[in-house]
Amino acid sequence: MAAGSTAMNAIDLSQPVANILRQGTAAAHERAEHSQGAKWLARGELDKEEYVRFLMMLWHIYDAFERALEQHATHPVLAPTHNPGLFARSANIAADISYLLDVPEESWQSHPLHTTLMATPPPALTQYVGRIRELAASPDPSRLLAHAYVRYLGDLSGGQFIRRRIVKAYGLEDGAGVSFYEFRPLGGASAGTGTTMGDLKKIKEWYRNGMNAGVGDSTELKAAILDEAQLAFDYNTALFDVLNPPSTTSSSGSDVEIDSPLHSPVESTPPTPPATDLSHSSPLVKEQPKVVFEASEPPAEERLVSLSSVIALVAALSITHMVLVIGGFTGERGMVKLEAFQQWLNGLFGGNAA
């Protein structure tokens, strides 16, 4: 694809694949911030039912590529990062869906929300799952690494920010309904809120080292995985595009920059701003002539203020003349007295007397 080709032409493929993917998807990360669906998700603005629908689509995606990773667990490219006890998300997503719908975990797939989704699944979902199954059935499943990278590294990064928004938006407590975003520490027994950002950083470092070891020095393989990562970003952005807008939006209206849970190289087309109707009438009303300049008589209040200012000035001059004559403001001593009197006069008339 064009985006992937451009990225590869500008990147030194002799670097480790983790560096290549970070550099090659940087622009996609920035463009993802313009995805309207990503903004709704990151702000916690999606209606609860729509968020559950989004989780249902994610479950089908994770179920597909985690089955594929398990199928090829011993493949030399995939084996160094294969750790289902640490990364597997599909069971966690199913638990969250069941909790949010308040139904038993074994029955959520028969819920009307899911049966409606799968009756006419969005093309974005079917194409994504279809691509993963295609790779799983291919003689060389190495490109599956790109899909695992995009999803897992995103969940470990921006997904943690989204988790906090989801908890607040839907009033969740004690980690219920957000196990999708929870990871246990490396070597830890279980996941939970006790996992620190430092723990998550160690997991990401472990994963990048595993990618580098699995891919090795093959520039051809590095280019293929970068190309597949760009395709994975396309699929994820397409999922955002099928999200339904929230029934209510945040009062702040500010944009949220996402720390790349779903980087996307596809920039959504911004909505066309509505035309401003200045006439508040039918669009067939003829345009009125433009007024370039219209002079009008000042209001009565302004005329009254001007008149009072003139009277004040005349009074000030009269008082000044009287003081000069009677008070003997002459010579050097008189000039000092005159300056002090003028300062008092300015204060009395609000600085209007000169």
Residues taking part in catalysis: 34, 62, 150-151, 154-155, 159
Q: What are phi and psi of 340, to 5 degrees?
A: -65, -40
Report how far residue 306's alpha carbon sits from residue 320's, in angstroms, rounded to the nearest whole number: 21
151 within 8 A of 57, measured Cβ to Cβ: no
CA atoms in the 13 A half-sphere facing the CB of 325: 6
Report how far residue 88's alpha carbon sits from residue 67's, in angstroms, rounded to the nearest whole number: 10
In three state form, how does the secondary structure of the chain look?
A: CHHHHHHHHCCCCCCCHHHHHHHHCHHHHHHHCCCHHHHHHHHCCCCHHHHHHHHHHHHHHHHHHHHHHHHCCCCCCCHHHCCHHHHCCHHHHHHHHHHHHCCCHHHHHHCHHHHHHHHCCCHHHHHHHHHHHHHHCCCCCCCHHHHHHHHHHHHHCHHHHHHHHHHHHCCCCCCCCCHHHCCCCCCCCCCCCCCCHHHHHHHHHHHHHHHHHHHCCCHHHHHHHHHHHHHHHHHHHHHHHCCCCCCCCCCCCCCCCCCCCCCCCCCCCCCCCCCCCCCCCCCCCCCCCCCCCCCCCCCHHHHHHHHHHHHHHHHHHHHHHHHHHHCCCCHHHHHHHHHHHHHHHHHHCCCCCC
Report how far residue 149's alpha carbon sits from residue 232's, in angstroms, rounded to the nearest whole number: 9
Report how far residue 55's alpha carbon sits from residue 51's, in angstroms, rounded to the nearest whole number: 6
